[in-house]
Amino acid sequence: MKTYRSTVLVCAAVWAVACVVAGEGAFALDPKLPIFTVKYDGGYGSEENDEADEVEPGSYRHTVLLRVKEELSRDFMLNLYSALSRKRYLTESGSYLYGYVNPDMAWYIVESLKWYAGLRAKWVGYDELDTEGRSKDYGSYLAKTDMTIKPVDRLKLIPSLQGVWDVHENAQKSAQTYTAGLNMSSRFGGWELSGRFRGSVRLPLGGESDITSRFNAEVGLSGTWDPND
């Protein structure tokens, strides 16, 4: 329950920050009224997992999502995503409940520069304990940002940074993950070339964590030739 209460407090703080930012922006920029979108998804029965080539046990699920979109100006936009979801297995263990709050913003500072930033606070709670009698509940907190830069015509660079902190009630599973990336694309003549790099490191979080440190790097390149261009 400690993780649940902490996540509720973080969610409330995220809501407050988003409202303050939206309010200040609304006062300064005389924006449009926000747009609200509510969505419900539900299901009942056994789902087929194509990747694992197996059928999951029978269950029912309900998910309610809310999105609030506010365009403070042509160059500055706010979004607030939130969700509450419940999945219960009919004959097996593993039932869970989760919810999250996820505000983000996009700011076109100048024509050749856009800044994106987002936060997310998520809580996951399970009906049962693990095989050792410990709680499986945890809170996950994310912060991410990226910049879209067009230094010259037909060249685009997108550097990005992200941090994720998973705080488990079973402190041995708590972990922190940091990711940096760079996407780039360029066009000249009939060619479009693109590349990406992403590196991430996962570390234990707290003195009781048993998580093993690890590093991962990914690189991708692609090229397209259109003789009609």
CATH number at residue 103: 2.40.170.20
Q: Would 190 be classed as within a structural domain?
A: yes
The pLDDT tens digits for 14-43 are 555 555 554 554 445 566 788 999 999 998
Q: Would 45 be classed as within a structural domain?
A: no
Q: Would 90 be classed as within a structural domain?
A: yes
Q: Would 29 be classed as within a structural domain?
A: yes
The pLDDT tens digits for 69-103 are 988 888 899 999 999 999 999 888 889 999 999 99
Q: Would 161 be classed as within a structural domain?
A: yes
Q: Would 82 be classed as within a structural domain?
A: yes
Q: Which domain holds residue 218?
A: 2-38+66-225
Provide the pLDDT for residue 26: 45
- Percent helix, strand, coil in the chain, to 5, is 15, 60, 25
Q: Would 205 be classed as within a structural domain?
A: yes
Q: How many domains does the chain have?
A: 1
Which string of b and e fits 66-96 if b means at least 16 CB within 10 Å?
A: ebbebbbeeebbbbbbbbebbeebeeeeebb
